[in-house]
Chains A and B, each alone.
Chain A
């Protein structure tokens, strides 16, 4: 099943298949290792529900839901 990163539940894992959008934010995501093929896991959400924290390429990355919306992943059903 395909879904975007902002809809993930805590603990959910997936493989990135596409990073949408353009410009600075997308480039930044690439630079931080958010590229197709990478495994990502939603570790937690901030106390107010946004931003979120993911584990990717063996480190912790935080991003807003708004940016996470651009990332599509494939998850096991």
Chain B
């Protein structure tokens, strides 16, 4: 089968073309660098052999400085596709053709797909394809990946070209570097290297990969350089070649492009002259969105709405503002849907919460029916519990997040595809640079408030590995929606029980604590294990445009598939394990739990899980929820473990034990309308944990290893071998953060000890780094 690779600048429309050719659902986006790894698909046409299509990551050049460039370059060199379709954004010829001049140097047939031709036509610009084709020496075909359906003429040409062999060509032929190129090329050919022209020119450019592999041949280049002197560039061959490329484009190619000149004045019907507004619509939108004063405010407002529409329980705060005080209405009264969409008690639900409520209603119904069915079929009570509580409840609790994750994704895709996200990076870079990451890192971090999984996937758009790793590591500290119940339940219990403060403020404070920990962690990481220069921020700002509905849907559907797959694999297995651990005693007696509580006198307190909890409990003593607690103290330790499956389990574990704990004297009597708060309150009464201990527990859960689904995503996104350290990092961070909160909260004077330790740490990091730099400098100079 013929293999055809798509190569081109980010945002030139490769993925759109890929999707159109293969009927696939890869993600398109108006954000430089959305495709990071390559994708494969098949182009099928009646009566012809199918063609394999590979979507390569978007690149501006074939220099080896970003992972995308290395992937694309190696693919063409090593995998030797039969043809490369170079997707060129026709509205931005000059910069796009820069990559083309490099691709042409490779020994591979090339067809240029001049994309976005619809926009060119709309602008009334003209392009002379024949002239362009002649200048470049390869076929040039106008296409519109977005608007057209039929690509048979393009694929016809691709098919023809693929059957021919093509030797690389270079524009340096007509320059005074030609002799050098030929000499070096000869040396490569002697070594039997393919793509000798490409390699030789890269070597002359001083390309780091090439130099590493062919240091000997590079001597020849050095020799040449010592005798060479250009008027403007001296012997800086890299600059000369870049200059020659652009000169070639301007002189040979740009003449084929004729820009339509808008008249400066238009004459309206009444014969009056009117000045045409300056700038495109995109420019005018941009002026507002990145305004010096309002830019940041607009951004915060947009962000607020995205989260509010996804997670808000009280849409637009209508209820809080008293909109329903005088009326007592409930939509769908008397039906199963009573109060779901709207009730005067809770207000209107946001689309995200509404969808979640409906989904949960549906899955609960299934669980219930399956339970009834199993009972009828005579299944034993443990088999029933295994299926309903172990398997179904586990999967459904994860699936219940699907609506909100998808909605969050949809909103972020709209912002991204419209081109706004690139501007956000532009606005925020100044702030983020202080923490050792670029403005681009903002996106994944903020998405973390919704769910760590899409957030981690999004780190692919970051420029360097170190930045990517650091960002993935701090994403869980941006407390996700599944952690919210821990925050609200613990805050609610603390307030009702101890009568201190305000539950909302405590919750907000915990969010703040997470952000501060993230910032500190970034600073520490970027000055210790992930040390390195702040990555440069040189980024294209694509023009704004309306997101296309179908591509948004495709993207959301793509995410949906991944998430569901995970729910049924890794999460299912881990759920089963925990269920078994909490449902059996160490001697494998089943702990039966019925509608009225535990049936056989055995309680979760006797389970394997509780026993494990009791063993690890002392580990949490410095954090205030370890050995100092009473009989049921292990539940905090276990809550932390079950939280690994899904963070909702933390409070769910408390709820399961509520029935047992309620019989302890002096426990109970706390009523709170915050979900889970009364369970937590009972645990607090039963264990005598103090306030700093609870706060430490919350912060520990917020910053420790995230749920399994997020860990699996981190594994996929991190470089090989980085996951182990990342998990250790999460454990250490949460342990230290929890300890500090407990210590300082309980004995205020320990704050001085903490400060001294921090100061010592900063000083030693500083000196270690200095010593390292010195060593590095020495080796460099030698």
Contact = CB atoms under 8 A, between A and B. Distances in A.
Interface of A: 17, 19, 24-33, 35-38, 44-51, 53, 57-64, 67
A53 B537 contact: no
A51 B439 CA distance: 10
Contact of B94 (A26, A33, A48, A62): A33
A47 B292 contact: yes
B173 interface: no
Nearest to A29: B538
Interface string B54-71: 000000110101000000
Task: Please classify how large the interface on chain B is, using the bins under 10, 10 to 19, 20 to 34, 35 or more.
Answer: 35 or more
Contacts of A35: 239, 242-243, 246
Nearest to A25: B536
A50 B439 CA distance: 11
B540 A67 contact: no
A62 B65 contact: no
A33 B538 contact: no
B426 A46 contact: yes
7 contacts: A27-B63, A32-B60, A44-B290, A51-B426, A51-B439, A61-B538, A62-B540
Nearest to A38: B246
Interface centre among A19, A37, A60, A61 (most CB of B within 10 A): A60
Given A28-B536, A51-B537, A67-B536, A46 B429 contact: yes
B238 A27 contact: yes
Contact of B430 (A19, A31, A36, A49): A49
Contact of B239 (A19, A60, A61): A19
Given A29-B538, A47-B291, A50-B429, A37 B246 contact: yes
Interface in B506-540: 536-540
B98 interface: yes
A58 B92 contact: yes
Given A38-B246, A50-B429, A61-B541, 5 more contacts: A27-B61, A33-B94, A33-B95, A47-B293, A47-B295
A52 to B, nearest CB: 9
Contacts of A44: 290
Contacts, number: 109
B426 A28 contact: no
A64 B63 contact: no
Nearest to B62: A31
A27 B243 contact: no
B98 A31 contact: yes
A61 to B, nearest CB: 6
Nearest to A60: B541
B225 to A, nearest CB: 14
A53 B238 contact: no
Contacts of A19: 239
B372 interface: no
Nearest to B295: A47
Contact of A64 (B65, B293, B536, B542): B536
Given A46-B429, A48-B431, A51-B429, A59 B537 contact: no
Contacts of A67: 536-538
Contact of A62 (B238, B242, B426): B426
A67 B438 CA distance: 13
A33 B246 contact: yes
Contact of A59 (B92, B242, B429): B92
Contact of A27 (B65, B247, B541): B65
Contacts of B247: 37
The 10 closest A-B pairs by CB, nearest first: A31-B61, A48-B430, A30-B242, A60-B541, A57-B94, A47-B295, A31-B60, A63-B538, A33-B95, A25-B536
A45 to B, nearest CB: 7
Interface string B411-437: 000000000000000110111010000
A19 B431 CA distance: 27
Contact of A61 (B233, B429, B539): B539
Contacts of B539: 61-63
B78 to A, nearest CB: 22
B540 A59 contact: yes
Contacts of A57: 92, 94-95
Interface string B287-298: 000111101100
Contact of B243 (A29, A37, A47): A37
A51 B432 CA distance: 12
B290 A61 contact: no
Interface string B590-610: 000000000000000000000
A46 B292 CA distance: 7
Interface string B207-242: 000000000000000000000000011000011001
Nearest to B242: A30
A44 B286 CA distance: 10
Contacts of B295: 46-47
Contacts of B238: 26-27, 30
